[in-house]
Amino acid sequence: MAELAVRVKYLSPQRAAALALLRLTFPVWGVIAPIAAVIILIISYFQSLHSALHGEQMNVLLSTLSIGLTFGVSMLALNWLANDAVDIDKDGVKLPYSPVDGNSVLRWQDITMISVTGPDHRAWNKKELVFVTPRATRHLFLSHMDAADVEKILLAMEMWGGNAEVDPAVRTLKEQITGTVEPQLSFTGMWEEELSRRFTPTSFVPLDPGRVMRNGTLKIIRHLALGGLSAVYLCQLEDRKLVVLKEAVVSDDTTESAQAKAREMLDKEAALLLKIEHPNIVKVLDYFVEQDRNYLMLDYINGQDLRQLVKQNGPQRESTVINWALQMVSILKYLHEQDPPLIHRDFTPDNIVLCDDGSIVVIDFGAANEFIGNATGTFVGKHAFIAPEQFRGKAVPQSDIYAFGCTLYFLLTGLEPEALSTSNPKEQNERLSQELCELVVSCTQLETRDRYQSASQLLPVLRGLMALYPANS
């Protein structure tokens, strides 16, 4: 992931009032005045054809020009006021410029105190976030932001504002926001919900937030998921970039030979993962061992996974699903054509994130789960999406095609596919096209020989469907 920078829309009360006034008076300065100016100019022009301009006519022209200037300035002000934002990155906080407070950039090194003002009993959106520096105190009015954006700001403060004194009220605000943001919309909660589905709590003792690792280059920010002899963390790499760290511990209860075999397997699988280079697959950045614990470091991808998207918005349009399906097949084709072929083993809506540009990214490559699962005994994959042969421990490339078909079924219907069965979305929605439903049925056949045999075979079929059902259809 690129260097993190949080940008949220924001209007201070003063700007909001000015914007409201401009919009309220728009019929006067934006419609009536320009029309009147044009009429006056036309009349003055025809009068000038018959006689020289007199002082009265010059005054009319100057007034007309003033109207035009007022219109231009008002439009610029309207655009400036309506497109304001708060930007936060590793350097500091950039607030909207204020004629009263002056400088809008607050560097982290200058911020001495971060606090919250407002009555304790009031709702979070009735409060203000306050940044104190030796030369200024700036207020951020939360009433002009939504909960998800406030959550982003609090996460950024937690990452980079470590030198400032933080009022306990900030923690209270964070707890209020966490309870307000819906899980599927949460900036920090997305990973927590998505990853927690894969693990069950145990007595495994995870690393504490704030722990510094990897020769001082990696700092643990928070736990994302715990389970078995493994954990997943959100971390900060070299003080600027968010990454995900997967941790696995080889159990001491096994024999020495079994421990050695597990470590050998971890090394081998990590080496394969590090070679993966595909724009739609999360990048594996590093694999290392520290204090007898094995770590896999991946890029952090911010976005909404397809399961959450369907939970929030319901079944998706056929044209949208076909577009995503083409990207999914491109991913599987890349994996299956590696030497040796790489089988994903967990190709599900939970592991696919939709980015702002419309592209999808697999955020948790299945072999990464294998990395943890083989070391901890954790079963890899979600039962409703797993092909019969994978249940028997004989995963093949066609197992991923089965999971791909189940994923399309979920996207088209909003329902979980029935485990160990052939899925047909037309049974849930008769209006779905026969061609796309037949593709899903073929992908989810119980016998591998009855499915599409490769991702390459699916590409021309999906391209044909895209021609039949273009975008926005």
On the question of pLDDT at 295 being above 80, the answer is yes
10-to-43, 116, 127, 146, 240 alpha-carbon distances in Å: 45, 17, 14, 9, 24
Which carries the bigger pLDDT value, residue 428 or residue 1?
A: 428
> Which pLDDT score, from 0 to 100, does residue 77 have?
61
On the question of pLDDT at 64 being above 90, the answer is no
> What is the crossing angle of helices 256-274 and 366-376, to 10°?
170
Q: How confident is the model at residue 209 (pLDDT cuts 50, 70, 90)?
A: confident
Which carries the bigger pLDDT value, residue 15 or residue 363?
A: 363
> Which pLDDT score, from 0 to 100, does residue 224 have?
78
On the question of pLDDT at 284 being above 80, the answer is yes
On the question of pLDDT at 410 being above 90, the answer is yes
On the question of pLDDT at 405 being above 90, the answer is yes
Q: How confident is the model at residue 29 (pLDDT cuts 50, 70, 90)?
A: low
> Which pLDDT score, from 0 to 100, does residue 317 have?
95
Which carries the bigger pLDDT value, residue 431 or residue 41?
A: 431
Query: Cα–Cα distance between 87 and 312 in angstroms, integer?
Result: 28
The gap from C-alpha 470 to its chain's centroid, in whole angstroms, comes to: 26
Which carries the bigger pLDDT value, residue 90 or residue 346?
A: 346
Query: Cα–Cα distance between 441 and 438 in angstroms, integer?
Result: 5
> Which pLDDT score, from 0 to 100, does residue 472 have?
58
pLDDT tens digits for range 369-390: 554 444 444 444 467 899 999 8
> Which pLDDT score, from 0 to 100, does residue 68 have?
64
Which carries the bigger pLDDT value, residue 417 or residue 265?
A: 417
> Which pLDDT score, from 0 to 100, does residue 268 have?
77
Phi and psi torsions of 117, nearest 5°:
-115, 155
Phi and psi torsions of 331, nearest 5°:
-65, -50
Average confidence score pLDDT of the chain: 78
pLDDT tens digits for range 43-52: 666 666 555 5
> What is the crossing angle of helices 306-313 and 189-196, to 10°?
100
> Which pLDDT score, from 0 to 100, does residue 58 have?
60
Burial of residue 116 (CB within 10 Å: 0-12, 13-18, 19+) is buried
Q: Mean pLDDT, to the nearest integer, of 25-32?
A: 70
Mean pLDDT lowest among 62-76, 392-406, 417-431: 62-76
On the question of pLDDT at 202 being above 60, the answer is no
Sign of CA dihedral 259, 265, 269, 271: positive
What one-character DSSP code corresponds to residue 98? B
> Which pLDDT score, from 0 to 100, does residue 407 have?
97
Q: Mean pLDDT, to the nearest integer, of 78-94?
A: 70
- Single-letter amino acid code for the residue at 333: K
> Which pLDDT score, from 0 to 100, does residue 118 have?
77
> Which pLDDT score, from 0 to 100, does residue 63 have?
64
CB 3 within 8 A of CB 159: no
Cα dihedral: 157, 163, 164, 165 (round 10): 110
What one-character DSSP code corresponds to residue 316? P
Q: Residue 293: which residues within 8 A CB-CB, separation 6 or more?
A: 247, 248, 249
> Which pLDDT score, from 0 to 100, does residue 194 have?
41
On the question of pLDDT at 54 being above 60, the answer is no
Cα dihedral: 45, 50, 54, 58 (round 10): 10
- Single-letter amino acid code for the residue at 73: V
Cα dihedral: 87, 91, 97, 100 (round 10): 130
Q: Mean pLDDT, to the nearest integer, of 270-276?
A: 85
> Which pLDDT score, from 0 to 100, does residue 72 have?
64
215-to-211, 249, 260, 287 alpha-carbon distances in Å: 11, 20, 25, 14
Number of H helices, E strands in the chain: 15, 17
**Highest mean pLDDT out of 19-33, 165-179, 297-311, 321-335:** 321-335
Q: How confident is the model at residue 450 (pLDDT cuts 50, 70, 90)?
A: very high
- Single-letter amino acid code for the residue at 75: M
Q: What percent of the chain has pLDDT over 90?
A: 30
Q: Mean pLDDT, to the nearest integer, of 279-289?
A: 92
Q: Mean pLDDT, to the nearest integer, of 197-210?
A: 59
Q: Return the structure tokens found at 83.
A: 């497109």
Q: Mean pLDDT, to the nearest integer, of 78-93?
A: 69
